[in-house]
Chain A
Amino acid sequence: MSSITYGKVTRDILRPLFKPSAAYMGLLGLCVAGVGLLLFCWYVQLTQGLGVAGYAPPVFWGVYITTFVFWIGIGHAGTLISAILFLFRSKWRTGVYRASEAMTVFAVMTAGLFPALHVGRAWNAYWLFPYPNQRELWQNFKSPLMWDVFAVSTYFTVSTVFFYIGLIPDLAAVRDKTRGIIQKTYGFMALGWRGTDRQWRHYMAAYGFFAAFATPLVLSVHSVVSWDFAMAQTMGWHSTLFPPYFVAGAIFSGCAMVITLLMPMSLIFKWDEYIGMWHYESLAKMCLLTGSILTYAYGTEYFIAWYSDNPYEWGIFHFRAVGEDYAWVFYMMVFCNCLAPLIWWFKKMRTNLWVLFIVSIIINIGMWFERYNIIASALAHQYDPNAWTYYAPTWVEIGILIGSFGWFGLWFTLFIRVMPSVAIAEIKELLRPPLKSDEAAA
């Protein structure tokens, strides 16, 4: 980066703004079609009832909760990169953190749809929030589902504030490079930021506090999500292993999603000076670490089930691996999450763009199947053999699953055209500042 100047950074990062190509409009159209599919499927469910979602005793958690956990997990990498790596002063985060943070916010927005979808009567979804009923009876704060409401809403609020605060100096840079109504709009969003010594002083202090507060959220949110399962007396769920296992899985899938999203973005916008192989390789190493923890957790789950000598516990794990209903889901999960990423142990493979891109997609497919494996197989195969059943997603659920990618993609696609997707001010911090003494020496 020695040849890059402050001015070049501003120009390069603002270059793609407001210049939609035909391919971009096509992608946007695809996302809008996905949202249309989501809305249509939701309409079908609202008018015909939750039966169209395949809910039948004893399985009342299915694709919606699977996809909810999947999207919450995706969000984790953004907070890890923006907050934890900021506190560690990791330099590679700078290029990728803005888009990763945006991914976090949009992923949580996508996840937020699913409780409303899952409860059926979506217009009553506000009952989840803490307020008393007519008899002054409040929600049960000892319930993991109530913890989840607090955890996810706090996560969304903190992530959004952190994301917006990080954007303010760059919104000011957009304001100063545009004219007319666009300038006024960005000036409004930048809150009048001018980069004065007073502003930077308090900004940097506050940013550090936001990072310090967002850091435990990375660990806590998916721990709390895991307790939605682990606190229940359900075989295959009731385990103290779940919180670290879920957190590792969340970071694993999130880092893979960052590779999936940022690689095409960087190549299309010609940002290889800012987001390059250094970043992809670092993300691949994060995936290797968290993927190894995940593989270890899968093994530990089986060991605990066997060692507990509990026939019900062992029964569900045995069923997952060799039962005829869900074994393919289990092996899909093992292949995608445990075996496929191993190729990244070879430097040649983790520095190959095609391998990086394809394996990152495989990981995300595997992480969705992991949650499906946990939820569907456990509920379909509980204590009473007479109640055993087979749950498979209906077309409505699959439509909503696909539509959720459209919803997420719509926000992300809009974001990359109207906001600086790489942090301008922080990239400048990585550069050697312009010095008169350097010019004199040259």
Chain B
Amino acid sequence: MSYFDRHNRPTPGAVKGVFAHLDCLVDGIDQLKKAGVKDFIVTSPLPRHEIEEMMYEGRPSPVRWFNLAGALFGGSSGFSLAALTHLNWPMIIPAGKPLVSIPAFIIITFEATVLFGCLFTLIGLLVHCRLPANDLQYEVKDPRYSDDHFGIIVNNLTADTAEKVRGILAHTGAVEVSGMEAAHAS
């Protein structure tokens, strides 16, 4: 099986539910969690706090540490660049003006803080979102998810648990349930 074939075929052990309504989706997530199902992905065409709250229960994204690290790195390297290059070639400045001038170097420090803070955040975003993502499973690649539908993709199911999951998805209002076996419309 080629690389592309692998990601353009239904994933073994996966069930997909497509939802047209947000409240049904949230209900579906809730029911799956109550049933002890943990390995599932939710897709949506827009960010919704309800989904994030249900999936992550208020845990903040680790991207913030990238932001902090970048800002600290940028600020310290910006100030060091300005200060060390002036100390490397010390000039006698009249009127007792300092060689390492804090007010003048604050500008470079600030700009480098912002620049590296943003670039590190970008790296954090790409790392944690796993972008560029060319290995996402077949079930996630439904064009409706970027338009007007929501989705739940449950993975690593056995024949028994798949039947139970399909039942939960259909019961909570999925407009389409597919995977493992023939599609079931609710």
Q: What residues make up the interface of A, taking CB atoms closer than 8 Å to B?
A: 5-7, 10, 130, 132, 136-138, 141-142, 146-147, 150-151, 153-154, 157-158, 161-162, 165, 169, 172-173, 175-177, 191-206, 209-210, 213-214, 216-217, 220, 224, 424-426, 428-429, 433-437, 439
Closest residue of chain B to A158 (Cβ to Cβ) is B118
Q: Can you report 27 A-B residue pairs in the complex whose CB atoms are below 8 A from each other? A: A5-B148, A6-B147, A10-B45, A138-B85, A141-B104, A142-B105, A147-B107, A151-B111, A153-B115, A154-B114, A158-B114, A169-B45, A173-B146, A194-B146, A197-B43, A198-B128, A201-B56, A202-B129, A203-B125, A206-B63, A209-B121, A213-B71, A213-B114, A213-B121, A220-B110, A220-B111, A436-B21
A127 to chain B, nearest CB (A): 15
Q: Does B2 contact A (CB under 8 A)?
A: no
Chain B residues positioned under 8 Å from A224 (CB to CB): 107
A250 to chain B, nearest CB (A): 17
Closest residue of chain A to B85 (Cβ to Cβ) is A138
Chain B residues positioned under 8 Å from A200 (CB to CB): 44, 47-48, 51-52
Q: Which of B110, B121, B134 contacts A192 (CB 8 A)?
A: B134
- Per the 8 Å Cβ criterion, residues 47-100 of B in contact with A are 47-48, 51-52, 55-56, 60-61, 63-64, 67, 71, 78, 81-82, 85-86, 88-89
- Separation of A177 and B146 alpha carbons in the complex (Å): 9
- Separation of A217 and B117 alpha carbons in the complex (Å): 12
B22 to chain A, nearest CB (A): 4
Closest residue of chain A to B116 (Cβ to Cβ) is A154
Q: Which of A175, A205, A428 contacts B60 (CB 8 A)?
A: A205
B41 touches A165 (CB 8 A): no
- Per the 8 Å Cβ criterion, residues 105-164 of B in contact with A are 105, 107-108, 110-112, 114-115, 117-119, 121-122, 124-126, 128-134, 136, 140-141, 143-148
**9 more CB-based (< 8 A) A-B contacts, given A142-B104, A206-B124:** A136-B89, A151-B111, A176-B145, A176-B147, A177-B147, A194-B140, A194-B141, A429-B47, A436-B23
A210 touches B121 (CB 8 A): yes
A434 touches B21 (CB 8 A): yes
Q: Does B42 contact A (CB under 8 A)?
A: yes
Q: Does B17 contact A (CB under 8 A)?
A: no
- Separation of A433 and B110 alpha carbons in the complex (Å): 41
A83 to chain B, nearest CB (A): 11
B118 touches A205 (CB 8 A): no
- Separation of A197 and B22 alpha carbons in the complex (Å): 14
Chain A residues positioned under 8 Å from B51 (CB to CB): 197, 200
A216 touches B107 (CB 8 A): no
- Separation of A147 and B82 alpha carbons in the complex (Å): 11
Closest residue of chain B to A433 (Cβ to Cβ) is B22
- Interface SS of chain A: helix, strand, loop or mixed? helix
- Separation of A394 and B157 alpha carbons in the complex (Å): 75
Chain B residues positioned under 8 Å from A205 (CB to CB): 60-61, 63-64
Q: Which of A194, A216, A436 contacts B133 (CB 8 A)?
A: A194
A428 touches B46 (CB 8 A): yes
Given contacts A195-B45, A202-B63, contact A177 B148 (CB under 8 A): no
- Per the 8 Å Cβ criterion, residues 1-52 of B in contact with A are 20-24, 41-48, 51-52
Q: Which of B24, B61, B81, B173 contacts A141 (CB 8 A)?
A: B81
Given contacts A197-B51, A206-B63, contact A161 B42 (CB under 8 A): no
- Separation of A200 and B121 alpha carbons in the complex (Å): 15
A203 touches B47 (CB 8 A): yes
Chain B residues positioned under 8 Å from A198 (CB to CB): 41, 128-130
Chain B residues positioned under 8 Å from A6 (CB to CB): 45-46, 147-148
- Separation of A361 and B71 alpha carbons in the complex (Å): 39
Interface centre among A141, A161, A213 (most CB of B within 10 A): A141
B148 touches A136 (CB 8 A): no
Chain A residues positioned under 8 Å from B148 (CB to CB): 5-7, 10, 434
Interface centre among A136, A158, A209, A425 (most CB of B within 10 A): A209
- Separation of A147 and B81 alpha carbons in the complex (Å): 13
Chain B residues positioned under 8 Å from A158 (CB to CB): 114-115, 118
Closest residue of chain B to A224 (Cβ to Cβ) is B107
Closest residue of chain A to B24 (Cβ to Cβ) is A436
- Separation of A427 and B3 alpha carbons in the complex (Å): 36
Interface centre among B20, B44, B48 (most CB of A within 10 A): B44
A195 touches B133 (CB 8 A): no
A214 to chain B, nearest CB (A): 8
- Separation of A146 and B48 alpha carbons in the complex (Å): 43
Chain A residues positioned under 8 Å from B129 (CB to CB): 198-199, 202-203
B27 to chain A, nearest CB (A): 9
- Separation of A103 and B124 alpha carbons in the complex (Å): 27
B111 touches A150 (CB 8 A): yes
Chain B residues positioned under 8 Å from A141 (CB to CB): 81-82, 85-86, 104-105, 108
B118 touches A213 (CB 8 A): yes
Chain B residues positioned under 8 Å from A150 (CB to CB): 78, 107-108, 111-112
